[in-house]
Chains A and B, each alone.
Chain A
Amino acid sequence: MSLLEFFEWLGNTAWSVALLESIWVYPLVETTHVLTLCLFLGMIATLDLRLVGLTLRNVPVSEVAGRLLPWAFVGFALMVVSGVLLFYSHPVRAFENVFFRIKMVMLVLAGLNAFIFHTTVYRRVTEWDRSPVTPVKARLAGYFSLMLWTTVVVSGRMQAYNWFN
């Protein structure tokens, strides 16, 4: 079975059809997906802006990360659950949409960027925790994160339009 055939089968399951056609649930899931952006991206962007030196320059980086990232994770969990539900309601339409594919690639890249940041330069955060100007690698991670999450949001929004199918 190809991936497309699997998604065709998935989109024809009773729960998928029910979700797509529901009057209240689908809009509620979509609203959750959009509004959780504030919690998830709001916290991530605050940390990124600290890394690039645009806000909270007097607050230790480890404190911004330690206090805000747990909330970002809560937001991320909600975004993934609502996002998977949205995908489940129309898998074929999403799969064939170029913006959806771009979004998935950007998601992976954003995750990779975060992983590299946390396993390299952030390991030595005690050395630069309190400095308003962070090391180049940390600043780069901040800029990459802001850029990648922006493209995730933009391609996610553009998924509503299927110009290139």
Chain B
Amino acid sequence: MIFLPFFEWCGETAVGIAIRDSLWLFPVIECVHLLALAMLGGAVLVVDMRLLGLGLRRHPLAELAREAQPWLVGSLLVMLVTGVLLFTSETLRAYYSPPFWWKMRLLLLAMLFTFTVRRKVLRSDDASGQPLFGKLVAVVSLSLWFGVGFSGRWIAFY
């Protein structure tokens, strides 16, 4: 309940009103959100698959992770900005949507995990010494991001 006044305020900002009143702004922002999803998914997958021993498994993990990092961070930033914009145009709908709250929880967890545990494993190349731990990290990472994407899509349904 404490969030409701904040959500209402967000919905009354100039940005929220502009997107709501425009025929094409919402779809265009949606498209960018979706394209960034493919990019983010790719950047996460290439590295997590490597941790699982799939895909580019001949390439050193730390180097692969370093290559993927700017794409991961860049696409995540695009997703966050476009996501906030989409949110401001339908704050009350989001407020009463259970998938929206699931998405926010999972997003918080996914980002925390990605920039702490996962980052540490990728940097130190720990996974080469402890392949099982690396696999666990990949499974957790993929599960969390899958949860974010899944619940995100379901905001439209519930």
Task: Show the binding face of A for B, using Cβ within 8 Å.
Answer: 27, 30-31, 34-35, 37-39, 41-43, 45-46, 49, 55-56, 58-59, 63-64, 67-68, 71, 150, 153-154, 157-158, 160-161, 163
Main secondary structure of the interface of B (DSSP, over half): helix
Determine the distance from Cα of A150 to Cα of B35 in the docked complex, in whole angstroms: 7
Distance in Å: Cβ of A74 to nearest Cβ of chain B = 11
B149 touches A38 (CB 8 A): yes
* Chain B positions within 8 Å of A37 at CB level: 34, 37-38, 41
* Contact flag A38-B42 (CB < 8 Å), given A68-B55, A68-B56, A157-B34: yes
* Chain A positions within 8 Å of B157 at CB level: 27
A41 touches B150 (CB 8 A): no
Question: How many residues on B have C-beta within 8 angstroms of the other chain's C-beta atoms?
Answer: 34
Q: Chain B 33-51, CB within 8 Å of chain A: the 1/0 string?
A: 0110111111111100100
B153 touches A42 (CB 8 A): no
Determine the distance from Cα of A64 to Cα of B42 in the docked complex, in whole angstroms: 13
Determine the distance from Cα of A35 to Cα of B43 in the docked complex, in whole angstroms: 14
Please pick, from B27, B41, B59, B71, the residue contacting A161 in the complex, using a CB distance under 8 A.
Answer: B27
B153 touches A67 (CB 8 A): no
Does B17 belong to the interface (CB within 8 Å)?
no
* Contact flag A42-B46 (CB < 8 Å), given A35-B149, A37-B38, A157-B27: yes
Please pick, from B23, B44, B55, B67, the residue contacting A67 in the complex, using a CB distance under 8 A.
Answer: B55
